[in-house]
């Protein structure tokens, strides 16, 4: 290890930045966030510094003792100002003579310290350095960590900080405290914080500290489970949210249906139990009522249950029905939204649901009820300059298009049917209200599909960007 990583407390410390360009401005921003008293030394500076007013003081390079009292000095020379120029080398020497440690941007060999790429989840901070050899690689690694460390981990660290003193009074043994925090960070309290319920997490942490045993274990050994109702999106695993992926890695058992693509199931924790609950139209492997009962049963056994649903669970996904039973039985649960089919499939088909020139509103409806096609509010659907997205309508496509016509729609109104949207086997069939049903039959569409009705469909030829792999 060529350099020792340190985290410095810069609160109210005087730190100098030399330079008037973009890099100097970024240095000031970062130092001000860390609480430093920043002094800018420059003969001229760019317009970017207008937005930084109040975050720095102006210093005078003409003063003989300009750098005295500054433990760190950052040199951020502008393009064309090489650090090796005699005047700049003299400035760097003056800073070192004053007792400061020096950083020269993009010149690690001239620097006493380097500034790493920082992932800020304060008070949790992750720093990545390549020793100045490959700063771009450091930034790329930071970007990957951004996807793995949710923003809520900072609040989780703050929660632990708030409870440290009380736990130290309760548990003198270091191993007991480690056992306690391992249990907290991998349990319901951490999930409360990550879900945004900090108040409940603090209250439960106080109880856990008060009631824990001398070895750090819980006073009540009764397991406490939880249900994660997660939207898996329309199919492309890259559309999973960070939070969805994290919950997929925590689950002990997964309840999934046919709308969840196998590539998404590959991202579930490897050793999790998997239970297929079907949900094909008119052919449910497990009736809706029994799915709710099963989630309650598994959670009461202390298991972390992932209910993985295609699209978004609260948009024609019956997610509300499923968590009603959890609420009745007082089973802890949380809901993670997903990209709904209308948004995902339209985007991958090159069809914007709204457009200033074509559609100023968009309506989501379902084309399938308990006993077949449903009676829609046609006066609402047939408004001008509006897009209609129909979920679960393929089986009744011919009926729906005839109803559009019967209620006054133009037979030339554009329509698209997107099958397996966002997936490698996506198929898009376009037409109009008068002919789309026949075209869908000719194409052999089987579902799952989303039907998009409106003038925006005409933009597909121009805006189509996605090329399926099969």
pLDDT in tens, 85-142: 998 999 999 999 999 999 999 888 999 998 888 899 989 999 998 887 888 898 899 8
> How big is the chain, counted in residues?
470
What span, in angstroms and rounded, lies between the C-alpha atoms of 209 and 15? 41
Band of pLDDT at residue 373, cut at 50, 70 and 90: low
Rounded Cα gap, residues 178 and 231, in angstroms: 34
Strands 449-453 and 414-419, sheet pairing:
antiparallel
Q: What is 226-339's CATH topology?
A: Cobalt-precorrin-4 Transmethylase; domain 1 (3.40.1010)
Q: Is 32 exposed, middle or buried (0-12, 13-18, 19+ CB in 10 A)?
A: middle
Within a 10 A sphere around the Cβ of 133, how many other Cβ atoms?
Answer: 10
Cα separation, 171 vs 174, whole angstroms: 8
Rounded distance between C-alpha atoms, residue 25 and residue 32, angstroms? 11
**Cα separation, 186 vs 230, whole angstroms:** 19
Cβ–Cβ < 8 Å for 446, 453: no
Sheet containing 386-391: which strands, arranged edge to edge? 361-366, 386-391, 449-453, 414-419, 427-432
Among the listed residues 303, 302, 295, 299, the one whose alpha carbon sits nearest the alpha carbon of residue 272? 303
Are 445 and 419 within 8 A, CB to CB? yes
Check pLDDT > 70 for residue 182.
yes
Residue 79 has pLDDT above 80, yes or no: no
CB 86 within 8 A of CB 98: no
Closest CA to 297 of 281, 262, 273: 273
For the chain, the average pLDDT equals 90
For residue 282, pLDDT beyond 60: no
pLDDT in tens, 220-230: 656 668 899 99
Closest to 2 (Cα-Cα) out of 120, 160, 142, 109: 109
Whether the ω angle into residue 321 lies within 30 degrees of 0, i.e. cis, is: no
Tell me, what DSSP letter sits at residue 238? G
Q: 50 and 42 in contact (C-beta within 8 Å)? A: no
Q: Give the pLDDT band (50/70/90) at residue 15.
A: very high
Element (H, E) at 38: strand 37-41
199 phi and psi, to 5 degrees? Answer: -60, -45
Confidence (pLDDT) at 312 = 96
Given the residues 236, 257, 261, 312, the one annotated as active site: 257
Task: Name the CATH superfamily, with its identifier, for domain 14-115.
Answer: NAD(P)-binding Rossmann-like Domain (3.40.50.720)
**Is 452 within 8 Å of 351 (Cβ atoms)?**
yes
CB 93 within 8 Å of CB 86: no
Which two structure tokens, joined as six digits, stand for 243?
């939070």
Check residues 195 and 339 and name the one with the higher pLDDT.
Answer: 339
Percent of the chain exceeding pLDDT 70 equals: 96
Is pLDDT of 364 > 60? yes
- Identify whether the C-beta of residue 220 lies closer than 8 Å to the C-beta of residue 184: no
Residue 292: how many other CB atoms lie within 10 Å? 22
Band of residue 195 on the pLDDT scale cut at 50, 70, 90 = confident
Q: What angle do CA 424, 343, 318 make, to 5 degrees?
A: 95
Structure tokens at 369: 């009820």
Q: Which CATH superfamily is domain 342-463 in?
A: Tetrapyrrole methylase, C-terminal domain (3.30.950.10)
Q: What is the pLDDT of residue 134?
A: 86
Quick: pLDDT tens for 416-427.
999 999 999 999
Is 257 a residue of the active site?
A: yes
Q: How many CB atoms lie within 10 A of CB 355?
A: 17
Query: Helices H, strands E: what count in the chain?
Result: 16, 17
For residue 399, which of 379, 376, 421, 383 has the smallest C-alpha distance? 376
Q: What are the CA-CA distances from residue 274 to residues 27, 253, 267, 269, 458 (Å)?
A: 49, 6, 12, 10, 42
Phi, psi of 372 (to 5 degrees): 125, -160
Rounded to whole angstroms, the Cα distance separating 120 from 115 reads 14
Instruction: Kindly tell me if the per-residue pLDDT of 283 is higher than 80.
Output: no
- Is 206 part of the annotated catalytic residue set? no
Q: What is the mean pLDDT of residues 262-286?
A: 80
What is the CA angle 250-255-256, rounded to 5? 110
pLDDT-derived band at 151, boundaries 50, 70, 90 = confident
Give pLDDT, residue 279.
57
Percent of the chain with pLDDT over 90: 64
Q: What are phi and psi of 192, to 5 degrees?
A: -60, -45
Buried b (16+ CB within 10 A) or exposed e, 397-406: beebbebbee
pLDDT, tens digit, for every residue of 315-330?
A: 998 899 888 999 999 9
Give residue 77's pLDDT: 87
Q: Which of 120, 114, 119 is nearest to 135 (CA)?
A: 114
Which 3 state secondary structure label does DSSP give 82?
coil
pLDDT, tens digit (0-9, with 9 covering 90-100), for 34-67: 999 999 999 888 899 999 989 999 999 988 889 9
- Check 279, 303, 309, 325 and give the catalytic one: 279
Q: Which tens digits make up the pLDDT trace of 392-434?
A: 999 999 999 999 999 999 999 999 999 999 999 999 999 999 9
194, 162 in Cβ contact below 8 A?
Answer: no
């Amino acid at each position: 290890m060529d350099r020792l990583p340190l985290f410095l407390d810069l609160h109210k410390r005087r730190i100098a930045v030399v330079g008037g360009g973009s890099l100097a401005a970024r240095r000031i921003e970062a130092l001000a966030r860390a609480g430093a008293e920043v002094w800018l030394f420059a003969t001229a500076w760019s317009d970017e510094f207008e937005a930084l007013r109040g975050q720095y003081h102006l210093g005078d390079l003409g003063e003989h003792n300009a750098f005295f009292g500054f433990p760190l000095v950052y040199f951020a020379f502008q393009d064309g100002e090489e650090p090796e120029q005699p005047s700049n080398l003299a400035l760097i020497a003056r800073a070192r003579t004053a007792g400061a440690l020096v950083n020269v941007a993009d010149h690690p060999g001239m620097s006493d310290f380097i500034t790493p790429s920082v992932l800020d989840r304060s008070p949790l901070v992750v720093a990545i350095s390549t020793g100045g050899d490959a700063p771009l690689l450091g930034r790329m690694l930071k970007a990957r960590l951004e996807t793995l460390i949710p923003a809520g981990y900072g609040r989780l660290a703050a929660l632990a900080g708030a409870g440290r003193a009380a736990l130290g009074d309760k548990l003198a043994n270091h191993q007991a405290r480690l056992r306690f925090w391992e249990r907290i960070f991998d349990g319901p309290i951490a999930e409360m914080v990550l879900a945004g319920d900090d108040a409940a997490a603090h209250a439960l942490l106080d109880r856990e500290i008060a009631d824990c045993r001398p070895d750090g274990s819980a006073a009540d050994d009764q397991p406490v489970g939880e249900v994660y109702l997660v939207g898996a999106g329309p199919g492309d695993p890259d559309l999973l949210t960070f939070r969805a992926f994290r919950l997929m890695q925590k689950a002990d058992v997964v309840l999934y249906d046919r709308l969840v693509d196998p590539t998404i199931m590959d991202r579930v924790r490897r050793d999790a139990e998997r239970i297929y609950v079907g949900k094909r139209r008119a052919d449910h492997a497990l009736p809706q009522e029994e799915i709710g009962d099963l989630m309650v049963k598994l959670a009461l056994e202390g298991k972390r249950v992932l209910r993985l649903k295609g699209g978004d669970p609260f948009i024609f996904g019956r997610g509300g029905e499923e968590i009603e039973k959890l609420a009745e039985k007082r089973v802890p649960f949380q809901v993670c939204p997903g990209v709904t089919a209308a948004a995902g499939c339209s985007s991958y088909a090159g069809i914007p649901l709204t457009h200033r020139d074509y559609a100023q509103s968009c309506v989501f409806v379902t084309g399938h009820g308990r006993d077949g096609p449903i009676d829609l509010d046609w006066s609402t659907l047939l408004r001008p300059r509006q897009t209609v997205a129909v979920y679960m309508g393929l089986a009744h496509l011919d009926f729906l298009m005839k109803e559009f016509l019967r209620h006054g729609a133009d037979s030339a109104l554009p329509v698209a049917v997107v099958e397996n949207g966002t997936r490698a086997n996506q198929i898009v069939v376009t037409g109009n209200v008068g002919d789309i049903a026949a075209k869908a039959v000719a194409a052999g569409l089987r579902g799952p599909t989303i039907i998009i009705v409106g003038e925006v469909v005409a933009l597909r030829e121009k805006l189509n960007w996605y090329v399926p792999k099969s």
